[in-house]
Structure 1
Amino acid sequence: MSHNTRQRRLAALRACDQILSGIRPTTMRERLADMDAGGDLDGQPDFYGDGPVNTLEERVAELLGTEAAVFFPTGTMAQQVALRYGADRTGHPTVALHPLGHLEVDERHAYAHLSGLRSTWPTTAPRNPTAEEITALAEPVSTVVIELPLRDAGFVLLSWDELAAASAAARAIGARVHFDGARIWESTPHLAHTLSEIADLADSTYVSFYKTIGGISGAALAGTTQLASYARIWRHRYGGEVFQQWPAALTALAGLDRELPRIPEYVRHARTVAAALTALPGARVYPEPPHTHRFRLWLPHPAQALNDATLALAEEEKVWFVAGWQETAVPGMAMTEVTVATPALEWTAEDIAEVGERFLGRVVDH
């Protein structure tokens, strides 16, 4: 997407009165004003990780029920430290990953290039590995990584019993369990357990602060005090010992206060939104019903035609439907991801059907 196209889309979305998927973009000035919700702006900034950063670490450790948590500027860095720790402790350079996971798809195989680790795939199915697949691994592994939810498979989760069994199977073969929990915040309704109960199944858990809860950046790695001590050393070595990160810490704290309690409501409404979207001609959603407040949607039209229709509806009627359409392996069938957040709570199934008809009326296939 060109810079001009992106700016046009952001301007159109910002001006909309109704938004089905996503949230209204904010300016830098608005984000600065929002920081006051995360803490005392008259207090002192952090100095290499104390102050509000330390407050955030303590809050995450409390939420996840772990001994400690360590702030990282990026999730990529946090995950590298978690895998390196596992390899150092077990002596095994192989980690069990999913080919659709963050570590393989989005982090440019940093675990291999920076730490000399290699991966094995317990499964290539579009879901996290089962206990049986972990038990059947043909070689020793230091860490089994489970992504909650598995984003590139459609934000899918195992059931609680399946997740608990997978964790037990990993430990039975002598491996650590690491949860790639960038979006763990939205996983609690489907798993029907608290954040601390979920994290208790893992030896380490990574969480993101800009995904789901709306911080501007940052992540944390949670686990034992021994892991935390190791993480602080390697965070420094990787270049993550940043002088001041209070803006990220304050917006994360604000998100934990404001957004985290609303996520169950988002997940419930996502089921209503998904069911209404499936009524559109040729539409398909997955998973059905959604496991989180995000899911995938397919329509039988070219991606460009759908993106053009979204923009036209937004600019002319101030209504944002669903954007970010991409082509698929099936010609003429496009896919996108739907995110149900605060703006979508105002939409009824009838609203979606009515606006969906207007949206499709603007689609011009070429």
Structure 2
Amino acid sequence: MPETEPNSPSESTADTPGGAPEETPEQALRHRLTVFRGAKHTLAEQGVDHTLAERLTALLTDGAEVYDLDEFTDIYGNGAVTELERRTAEELGFPAAAFFPTGTMAQQVALRCWAARTGNPTVALHPLAHPEVHERQAFSQVSGLRTVHPTDEPRLPTAEEVLGFEEQFGTLMLELPLRDAGFVLPTWDELVAVVEAARERDAVVHFDGARIWETTTHFGRPLREVAGLADSVYVSFYKTMGGLSGAVLAGSESLIAEARTWRHRYGGQLFQQFPAALAGLIGLRKELPELPSYVAHAKVVASAMKEGFAEAGVPWFRVHPEPPHTHQFQVWLPYDAEVLNAASLRQAQESGVCLFRRWFPNPSGPAGLAVTEVTVNAPGLAWSAEDVRAAVAEFVRLLS
């Protein structure tokens, strides 16, 4: 599933058999965003819902709370970028950190650095991990890395699977949470055991922590303790923290110094990055403290959705996981994605309720099943369980 709304406009507009022009992908995207933006009740605010003017205004207004806007702009990574690196390293409990324009670049750099240090270019990770599904084989095509899979179950590997895996690997990469499996997490004891198993095999441990910010409630541990299990951690600023773009790789002083060299070689030494850096600092100030409340309310929303589908007589559905491990979870329904997308759009347009956004066909298994991802953040805190059940009942009526 794509990270955000797809945006691939056609070069021309075809005609339908009736003579009316078909909507181009760009027009369809704009229509969806306009409808969802206009909804009065939504479970989550998303960056794509805002205009350029709104995002720029927010940077000016909120940016003044986190950085001196009378300072000069950054030049090749100083200024606000350095401050974001410092703050992120502090939050994660690492001595150093480096800002990257994308997480794809940050993790390639981290893992090729570890490959050089361990002498082993093999990375053990889950087949549903982001680099395997969403990055066009970047590890092998660009960085010369090889991947292996200790398990293909829809969860992170166990300590036994790591210890008993038949191939040697230099790095164990764990995505926390495992997004494409349903934003799932192991227990704290399971995570500790997996890390210890990797170390027993003389492997280093890297966390794909794009969404590690919201794992503390599930683990019952502070962020520093969670991140501190790994040798290096990558975090994202636009997926949970409401930022514009960008990522930070945190680790030891020597690792980050080496990573900065590779960042330059990969083309990530951008001239100015202050909008992304400011947005990241704002996220650390405003969103990070609120995440436990989002996670707690996601459990209320998920439970109410389950009740709503049962009350509406839907013959089969799944809310996964039960309860959610973070403030995001999956919903599965036995309909084609096109039907569900049309109902989601219609509900938002007619009643001003944005319950679901994009549905996707079942990536594996039988046809006729579709899945969506539900996120609960600040706007969703206003929804009661009854609000959720009512919205589900209305959504199901639109499917008939």
Aligned alpha-carbon RMSD (Å):
1.2
Q: Which amino acid aligns with 2:374?
A: V
Matched residues in 2 for 1:270 and 1:222: separation?
Answer: 29
Give 2:52's aligned residue.
28
Matched residues in 1 for 2:333 and 2:217: separation?
Answer: 28
What's the secondary structure of 1:145's corresponding residue? strand
Q: Residues 214 and 327 of structure 2 are in contact (CA less than 8 Å); yes or no, is this contact kept in structure 1?
A: yes
Q: Which amino acid aligns with 1:123?
A: T
Matched residues in 1 for 2:68 and 2:303: separation?
Answer: 43
From 11, 21, 32, the equivalent of 1:9 is: 32
Q: Which moved more, 1:32-41 or 1:233-242?
A: 32-41
| % identity of equivalent residues | 53
Give 1:325's aligned residue.
359
Q: Residues 103 and 235 of structure 2 are in contact (CA less than 8 Å); yes or no, is this contact kept in structure 1?
A: yes
2:110 is aligned with 1:86 = no
Give 1:194's aligned residue.
222
Give 2:21's aligned residue.
none
From 304, 326, 329, the equivalent of 1:295 is: 329
What's the secondary structure of 2:399's corresponding residue? coil
Matched residues in 2 for 1:65 and 1:91: separation?
Answer: 27
TM, length-normalised to structure 2 = 0.89
Give 2:124's aligned residue.
96
Structure 1 residue 331 displacement after superposition: 3.3
2:138 is aligned with 1:115 = no
Give 1:155's aligned residue.
183
From 336, 339, 345, the equivalent of 1:311 is: 345
Residues 163-312 of structure 1 aligned to structure 2 (within 5 Å): 163-279=191-307, 280=309, 281=314, 282-312=316-346
Structure 1 residue 344 displacement after superposition: 1.0
Structure 1 residue 332 displacement after superposition: 2.9
2:394 is aligned with 1:358 = yes
What's the secondary structure of 1:129's corresponding residue? coil
Q: Which amino acid aligns with 1:306?
A: L
CA deviations 1:8-44 (Å, max 9, x no partner) are 1100111111013554711111111111323222211
Q: Residues 123 and 133 of structure 1 are in contact (CA less than 8 Å); yes or no, is this contact kept in structure 2?
A: yes
Structure 1 residue 262 displacement after superposition: 0.7
TM, length-normalised to structure 1 = 0.97
What's the secondary structure of 1:84's corresponding residue? helix
Give 1:344's aligned residue.
380
Instruction: Give the paired residue count.
Output: 364
Q: Residues 68 and 223 of structure 1 are in contact (CA less than 8 Å); yes or no, is this contact kept in structure 2?
A: yes
From 72, 76, 96, the equivalent of 1:44 is: 72
Instruction: Evaluate the alpha carbon distance shift between residue 327 and residue 115 of structure 1 in structure 2; reply closer, same or farther with a 3 A threshold.
Output: closer
Q: Which amino acid aligns with 2:337?
A: A
Matched residues in 1 for 2:122 and 2:391: separation?
Answer: 50
Q: Which amino acid aligns with 1:32?
A: L
Q: Residues 183 and 211 of structure 1 are in contact (CA less than 8 Å); yes or no, is this contact kept in structure 2?
A: yes
Matched residues in 1 for 2:46 and 2:102: separation?
Answer: 22
CA deviations 1:179-210 (Å, max 9, x no partner) are 00000011111011111101110000000011
Q: Residues 23 and 341 of structure 1 are in contact (CA less than 8 Å); yes or no, is this contact kept in structure 2?
A: no
Q: Residues 44 and 378 of structure 2 are in contact (CA less than 8 Å); yes or no, is this contact kept in structure 1?
A: no
Residues 130-145 of structure 1 aligned to structure 2 (within 5 Å): 130-145=158-173
What's the secondary structure of 1:278's corresponding residue? helix
Matched residues in 1 for 2:349 and 2:74: separation?
Answer: 42
Q: Residues 46 and 242 of structure 2 are in contact (CA less than 8 Å); yes or no, is this contact kept in structure 1?
A: no
Give structure 2 stretches of 5+ with no counterpart.
Answer: 1-5, 7-24
